Amino acid sequence: MAEPELVDVVVIGLGVGGEEVAGRLAEAGLSVVGVERDLVGGECPYWGCIPSKMMIRAANALAEARRVDGLAGAAQVQADWAPVAKRIREEATDTWDDTVAVRRFTDRGGRFVRGSGRIDGPGRVRVGDQVFQARHGIVLGTGTRPSVPPIDGLADTPYWTNHQAIEVEELPASLLVLGGGAIGLELAQVFARFGVRVTVVEALERVLAVEEPEASEVAAAALRADGVEIHTGVRAERVEHDGSRFTLRGAGGAEFTADRLLVVTGRRAHLDELGLDTVGVDAAQRYLAVDDRLHVTDGIWAVGDVTGEGAFTHIAMYQAAIVIADVLARARLAGAGPDASGTASVVGGAMGASSSLAASGSSGSAGSVPRADYRALPRVTFTDPEVGAVGLTERQARERGINVQVGFTKLSSSTRGWIHQVGDEGFIKLIADADQGVLIGATSVGPAGGEVLSALVVAVHAAVPLSQLRHMIYAYPTFHRAIEDALRNLS
Ligand SMILES: Cc1cc2nc3c(=O)[nH]c(=O)nc-3n(C[C@H](O)[C@H](O)[C@H](O)COP(=O)(O)OP(=O)(O)OC[C@H]3O[C@@H](n4cnc5c(N)ncnc54)[C@H](O)[C@@H]3O)c2cc1C
């Protein structure tokens, strides 16, 4: 058996969260081993946020061109997928090659090891034949993989996950999308706008079921206007593939056929592969339970999707800042930490990004390390219109027994919505805690719903009193000015 090599920190999984932690700790002067079995950067740059948003940008350009009629003359649009596929291949992913990303990490001072990392007792990580003993700790940033439901026949068919949908060079004539969540709707709309006949099948009673019902309605109407067929309340029971076409059979005799089937029914962490039992951590959990400084157990931190706190790149980055500060604080306490200048700059940056967080002590951490706070977690579904949301929905707030006030206004009744005309579907919905006099949740749907959301995130995050929000000046005629109308309607 190989002798363990002593290092400061081992990071397993170099997705968004893991790469940030590993790179910043290495820059601060710690000896860091970063382990990645697939591509450095993870899901977001290769099969997630970035290529999907390139697809959406292109699809929205088509949609805008189709709106010229009646607004600005006449336009003829001919959709072509080739430039989209080329941009994803060449600009976003280097044809799914991470040479540049690996160099980005090693240039920061990290040591890169390609392979599957597995914990092998306290502080110890095994990657193939190599064994590392981490002086200060292990960070797990292993993310999630698509969760494929146990539908009869499905596993034997050549179904797509987000990987094949992002890598596609030639579009199919028809596509079944199993799952009406954010990723399903974004991709369904893109492909429909490029001429694919798309059918979305969702088991729940509405698409975007985690968001406000009004948001589900607007999103479903927008997709239907793009030609997408949406079937909700349909539980898939069997999938068949005859060599060229898929057939999906649902409860009650529903039947759908298409050239391709995209399965986007959620994501799953694979904890059983990580050797957690060797450090007394339950590998049967759905996600890795962490405290508010992302500790899994003494000397082990987790970051990103694997924590189950929200599958977003911004969550992974937010958590990474806390983990970096905590590991550096621990290294300093151990007296074997990084040089003073590196420490100061990294801890300063992490604290700066989370300055409103409480900063009192916790076991194994210096008192100045921030704590994670997800009250104002923003989430955006990049359909057209965009669905932005923060904090609690009305239902969640009522279930918590909060004295709820709701304010609602349609975007089309704002001046900017009226000017915008075609494509102005959307609304602002505010959820207030009437006793505290603050917003605790908000939804912003519209052409720039995700951007308008930022004002509402500040309001929820900083618990800005409603009285102050009502006496702010909102620029005329912006979309965000509709917030003022929704505040007026709070009741
Ligand atoms: C289609 C799609 C669109 C998305 N759009 C957005 C968006 O617009 N905005 C947004 O905020 N989020 C979006 N997301 C989510 C975002 O991609 C994730 O939240 C983000 O990638 C999570 O980062 P992570 O570091 O936790 O994990 P990941 O990016 O999943 O990285 C984990 C890494 O760990 C590696 N790994 C796992 N186990 C091991 C092991 N044992 N040893 C070595 N390596 C291992 C994996 O190979 C992987 O590279 C989207 C996701 C998808 C699928």
Ligand 1 site-directed mutation target among 36, 44, 306, most atoms within 8 Å of CB:
44
DSSP code for 93: S
CA 81-95-106 angle, to 5 degrees, is 145
Q: What is the pLDDT of residues 77-111, one digit of tens each?
A: 999 999 999 999 999 999 999 999 999 999 999 99
**Looking at residue 351, what is its pLDDT?**
29
pTM greater than 0.85 (yes/no): yes
**Looking at residue 338, what is its pLDDT?**
52
Confidence of residue 336 (pLDDT cuts 50, 70, 90): low
Work out the average pLDDT over 414-442: 97
Tokens for 188, please give them: 């369904």
Q: Is the pLDDT of residue 305 over 70?
A: yes
The residues lining ligand 1, judged by C-beta closer than 6 Å to any ligand atom, are 12-13, 15-18, 35-39, 42-44, 47-49, 52-53, 116-117, 141-144, 162, 183, 273-274, 304-306, 311-314, 316, 382
Q: What is the pLDDT of residues 256-268, one digit of tens each?
A: 999 999 999 999 9
**Residue ID of nearest Cα to ligand 1 atom 2:** 48
**Residue ID of nearest Cα to ligand 1 atom 5:** 49
State the Cα–Cα distance between residues 98 and 100, nearest whole angstrom.
5
Q: Is the pLDDT of residue 352 over 60?
A: no
State the Cα–Cα distance between residues 137 and 417, nearest whole angstrom.
52
Half-sphere exposure of 426 (CA within 13 A, CB side): 32
The sign of the dihedral angle between the CA atoms of 107, 109, 114, 118 is negative
Residue 303 CA to ligand 1 centre (angstroms): 11
Q: Which residues of 80-90 are buried (b: 16+ CB within 10 A; e: fewer)?
A: ebeebbebbee
Q: What letter represents residue 216's amino acid?
A: S
Residue 429 CA to ligand 1 centre (angstroms): 30
Nearest Cα neighbor of 32 from 117, 99, 93 is 117
Q: Is the pLDDT of residue 355 over 80?
A: no
Q: Is the pLDDT of residue 362 over 50?
A: no
Q: What is the pLDDT of residues 467-479, one digit of tens each?
A: 999 999 999 999 9
Helices (H) and strands (E) in the chain, counts: 15, 22
Kindly report the average pLDDT of the chain as a whole number.
93
Work out the average pLDDT over 48-75: 97
Q: Which atom of ligand 1 is nearest to the CA of 49?
A: 5
**Looking at residue 120, what is its pLDDT?**
98
State the Cα–Cα distance between residues 320 and 214, nearest whole angstrom.
34
**Residue ID of nearest Cα to ligand 1 atom 8:** 49
Residue 304 CA to ligand 1 centre (angstroms): 8
Q: What is the pLDDT of residues 387-417, one digit of tens each?
A: 999 999 999 999 999 999 999 999 999 999 9
Confidence of residue 349 (pLDDT cuts 50, 70, 90): very low
State the Cα–Cα distance between residues 15 and 25, nearest whole angstrom.
15
